[in-house]
Amino acid sequence: MDSEEFRIKGKELIDYIADYLENIRDRRVFPDKKPGFIRGLIPETAPIKGESWDNIFKDVENVIMPGVTHWQSPHMHAYFPALNSYPSMLGEMLSNAINCIGFTWASSPVCTELEMVVMNWLGKMIGLPEEFLHRKGGDGGGVIQTTASECTLISLLAGRYVAIKMFKDLYPTASKHDINGKLVAYSSDQAHSSVEKAALIGLVTLRYIECDENFSMRGDKLLKAIKQDREQGLIPFWVCATLGTTGSCAFDNLQEITEICYKELLWCHVDAAYAGSSFICPEYRVWLKGIEKANSIAFNPSKWLMVHFDCTAMWVKNSSALHGAFNVNPLYLTHEYSGLAIDYMHWQIPLSKRFRSLKLWFVIRNYGITGLQEHIRKGVMLAEKFESFVRSDQRFEVPAKRHLGLVVFRLVGDNFITETLCKRLNSRGNIHCVPANLKGKYVIRFTVTAPRTTLDDIVKDWKEIVTVANGILQEREKYMKRAKVPLGDAKCSSPDEKEELSRKNTAAVYKRLQAQREALDQTNQRQK
Ligand code: PLP
């Protein structure tokens, strides 16, 4: 492809992208494909000779689109959002054209400089204390990483570096490995699985703290666990507080947790993957209370802020801990300003770095702070509407308080009715949701993904849910009637008989539940 063809085909692709996004409602949000579906649609081996662009492009609709889960669809409610926007895509295009690799300041100075400025903008937008920002003579600052999982790992490794150094200073004869073997990290039992992964990679013990009735980690239980571990000769060193849990968007009590971490000399990382975007609205910053005593925080603008993947914002107060954990300095990477300018390679796991700040810069400038705030508030408002629909139907319940754009709901009754509802909704493909387990309750997570989502979309989603639920509840009723225990069986005269009867009934009820489940599974199977 030469530049002339690129100009023509590139413009055509832009039109295709705009049409795709504007007409995305016409597509089934969740594909009806099975693993391996692509085999047979494309050859097993690569072409010997280059193909024309027109030939390649035909396969976008024929091969690619039928297997896409359309994350930009207003009917996509699974996971957390992963939104894009036109200025973000233009930023990515330009960054792809420049394609510089900004590992050191010298490898492409503007890549580092713009990232520092934009991370300061974003830090101020969410109300972070100054110590987290790039300042003359300061040790704090922001960096764009790939994912929230990576930020958690980086923070754990930085915390580990600090803890090992502290203990080596106190006990010079102790080996790093001995100290590492005694390190204990903590998180809520609602924390994302990436925390467990970070502990696995860091070879440290992870202790889950049981959350309270609001799915929130509280200081008293954390402090108790820290003290118990110290009594066992272990070394508590790192805590991950979650602001906006994956299951129900619950918030750990940051103020209590950071206070403890500060007093007990533990590194506190704040994982605000989804909810962090909302902190650009002052009314949601109540959950950030206590952040001044945390050590690092991360959130994904690539989730809710319309800066598309990948773009995860991370700030640390103490970048020298990152240097300590990651500093390698081969001669070929040194430059005239080494040690004077920031070299982001010391702040991350990979050496290479994409020019991601460009898309973040474009989005912030194009929407402005008020435009982004409107976007967040609209998402929350639509979630409130959806919650009100659920609460208006007594067959449903909302078992955890709604926060921001995530509503968790279920059908009142046994878990498997809600499980069936979730599976059937996804197999119909008109909306897409995923489940979560909240203290043993099977719930469906419904995340509003705006910006294209309208109230009409939400009304349509609710109608779809009610239609499917009606079918399931009717089937259930049929089976309940058929499997009813005869009334005569319920009569008894002596306490012994009563005891015997309750055992019989338990078995009967259990049998009935099994029959119901089998029937629902069979219907599901038939519908597939
Ligand atoms: N932390 C929380 C609370 C999350 O909800 C998620 C994903 O949704 C993650 C971490 C992982 O995010 P990433 O895919 O950016 O690693």
Per-residue pLDDT tens, the chain, 528 aa: give them.
999 999 999 999 999 999 999 999 999 999 999 999 999 899 999 999 999 999 999 999 999 999 999 999 999 999 999 999 999 999 999 999 999 999 899 999 999 999 999 999 999 999 999 999 999 989 999 999 999 999 999 999 999 999 999 998 888 888 989 999 999 999 999 999 999 999 999 999 999 999 999 999 999 999 999 999 999 999 999 999 999 999 999 999 999 999 999 999 999 999 999 999 999 999 999 999 999 999 999 999 999 999 999 999 999 999 999 988 888 777 777 888 787 788 999 999 999 999 999 999 999 999 999 999 999 999 999 999 999 999 999 999 999 999 999 999 999 999 999 999 999 999 999 999 999 999 999 999 999 987 899 999 999 999 999 999 999 998 877 766 655 544 444 344 444 545 554 555 666 666 766 777 777 777 666 655
Expressed in angstroms and rounded, the spacing between residue 340 Cα and the centre of ligand 1 is 34
Expressed in angstroms and rounded, the spacing between residue 38 Cα and the centre of ligand 1 is 29
Q: Is the CB of 312 under 6 A from ligand 1?
A: yes
Assigned domain for 53 exists: no
At what angle are helices 86-98 and 357-391 packed, to 10 degrees? Answer: 150
What integer pLDDT is reported at residue 487 of this predicted model? 45
Residue whose tokens read 């982001």: 344
Q: Is the CB of 300 under 6 A from ligand 1?
A: yes
Q: 516 to each of 21, 412, 415, 442, how far by Cα in Å?
A: 42, 16, 12, 17
CA 147 to ligand 1: nearest atom: 15
Compute the distance between CA of residue 272 and CA of residue 282 in angstroms, rounded to an integer: 16
Single out the residue of 331, 337, 270 nearest to residue 126, CA to CA: 270
Expressed in angstroms and rounded, the spacing between residue 88 Cα and the centre of ligand 1 is 20
Expressed in angstroms and rounded, the spacing between residue 324 Cα and the centre of ligand 1 is 26
Q: Is the CB of 149 under 6 A from ligand 1?
A: yes
Tokens of 147: 């994912």
What integer pLDDT is reported at residue 494 of this predicted model? 47
- Among candidate residues 355, 381, 396, the one where a domain is terminated: 355
Q: β-pairing, 235-242 with 183-188?
A: parallel
- Among candidate residues 325, 355, 385, the one where a domain is terminated: 355
What integer pLDDT is reported at residue 488 of this predicted model? 42
Tell the residue nearest (CA) to atom 14 of ligand 1. Answer: 147
Expressed in angstroms and rounded, the spacing between residue 84 Cα and the centre of ligand 1 is 17
CA angle (409, 412, 416) in 5-degree steps: 85
Compute the distance between CA of residue 507 and CA of residue 504 in angstroms, rounded to an integer: 5
CA 242 to ligand 1: nearest atom: 3
Residue pair 148/299 in contact (Cβ under 8 Å)? The answer is yes
Rg (CA), the chain: 27
Tokens of 506: 């338990």
Does an H or E element contain 316, and which? strand 312-316
Residues 6+ apart with CB under 8 A from 224: none
Q: Is the CB of 119 under 6 A from ligand 1?
A: no
Expressed in angstroms and rounded, the spacing between residue 247 Cα and the centre of ligand 1 is 11
Q: 527 to each of 142, 278, 418, 466, 521, how far by Cα in Å?
A: 50, 40, 17, 18, 10
CB atoms < 10 A from the CB of 361, how many? Answer: 19
Backbone angles phi, psi at 101, to 5 degrees: -115, 105
Expressed in angstroms and rounded, the spacing between residue 435 Cα and the centre of ligand 1 is 16
Assigned domain for 383 exists: no
Measured in whole angstroms, how far is the alpha carbon of residue 346 from the centre of its chain? 25
Residues 6+ apart with CB under 8 A from 477: none
Number of domains in the chain: 2
Q: Same domain for 126 and 274?
A: yes
Q: Same domain for 307 and 168?
A: yes
Residue whose tokens read 């976008």: 60
Assigned domain for 276 exists: yes
CA quadruple 250, 199, 342, 323: dihedral sign: positive
- Residues 141-155 as b/e (b if ≥16 CB within 10 A, e otherwise) read bbbbbbbbbbbbbbb
Q: β-pairing, 441-447 with 434-438?
A: antiparallel
Residue whose tokens read 């799915």: 215
Assigned domain for 505 exists: yes
Assigned domain for 13 exists: no
Given ligand 1 and candidates 194, 248, 309, 449, which is best to mutate, with the most ligand atoms within 8 Å of its CB? 194
CA 149 to ligand 1: nearest atom: 16
Q: Could you list the residue range(s) of the whole structural domain that residue 174 is in?
A: 100-355
Annotate 444-484 with DSSP letters as a single string: EEEE---SS--HHHHHHHHHHHHHHHHHHHHHHHHHHHHTP
CA 146 to ligand 1: nearest atom: 15
Expressed in angstroms and rounded, the spacing between residue 4 Cα and the centre of ligand 1 is 42
Q: Is the CB of 85 under 6 A from ligand 1?
A: no
Tell the residue nearest (CA) to atom 5 of ligand 1. Answer: 246
Residue whose tokens read 């700040």: 357
Single out the residue of 205, 204, 160 nearest to residue 322, CA to CA: 160
Q: Same domain for 257 and 112?
A: yes
Q: Is 132 helix (H, G, I), strand (E, B) or coil?
A: helix
Q: Is the CB of 73 under 6 A from ligand 1?
A: no
3-state secondary structure 183-243: EEEEEECCCCHHHHHHHHHHCCEEEEECCCCCCCCCHHHHHHHHHHHHHCCCEEEEEEEEE
Q: Is the CB of 442 under 6 A from ligand 1?
A: no
Q: Is the CB of 248 under 6 A from ligand 1?
A: no
Assigned domain for 190 exists: yes
Compute the distance between CA of residue 199 and CA of residue 181 in angstroms, rounded to an integer: 12
First to last CA, the chain: 43
Assigned domain for 21 exists: no
Q: 345 to each of 13, 150, 158, 204, 319, how far by Cα in Å?
A: 34, 14, 14, 25, 12
Assigned domain for 391 exists: no
Compute the distance between CA of residue 124 and CA of residue 13 in angstroms, rounded to an integer: 36
What integer pLDDT is reported at residue 486 of this predicted model? 46
Compute the distance between CA of residue 178 and CA of residue 172 in angstroms, rounded to an integer: 12
- Among candidate residues 305, 337, 355, the one where a domain is terminated: 355
